[in-house]
Amino acid sequence: MNITVNITEQTEDQVRVAIAGEIDAFTAPKLREKLDPISTKDPITLIADLSQVNYMDSTGIGVFVGLFKGIKANGGHLQLVGLSDRLKRLFDITGLADIMDINPEVKGGVE
């Protein structure tokens, strides 16, 4: 079980990260460690590309909920892009798809 988190694009007010691997109880702390510093910037748009994530459990959902709350509290925006049908369903079942910005396309971005 491993995970990689790479910043693929960064401007003053927008950061795009590519996440690959599995997000579970073992890898979630590493993901949180990489993303939390980004979430404290005022205000930031974080675009998280999940197209290479092949598994996520409730621990991963918790990471994104915390990230969403932190970014929103600072006046920013979180967008999740590139979700597989399985990941999209996970966010739908939990009701998070109704409050988070989820775009099945990889491009994403806030105009």
pTM of the model: 0.90
Q: CA geometry: angle at 105 spanning 95 and 7, to 5°?
A: 95
What letter does residue 109 receive in the DSSP assignment? -
Do 62 and 32 touch, CB atoms closer than 8 A?
no
Q: Per-residue pLDDT averaged across 81-101, rounded?
A: 94
**pLDDT of 83 higher than 80:** yes
- Domains within the chain, CATH numbers bracketed: 3-103 (3.30.750.24)
**What does the pLDDT read at residue 38?**
85
**What does the pLDDT read at residue 85?**
93
Do 41 and 73 touch, CB atoms closer than 8 A?
no
What letter does residue 81 receive in the DSSP assignment? E
Do 81 and 48 touch, CB atoms closer than 8 A?
yes
Residues listed for the chain: 111
Give the C-alpha separation, 38 to 13, whole Å: 10
Mean pLDDT for all residues in the chain: 91
Convert the pLDDT of each residue in 37-58 to its tens digit.
Answer: 988 878 999 999 999 999 999 9
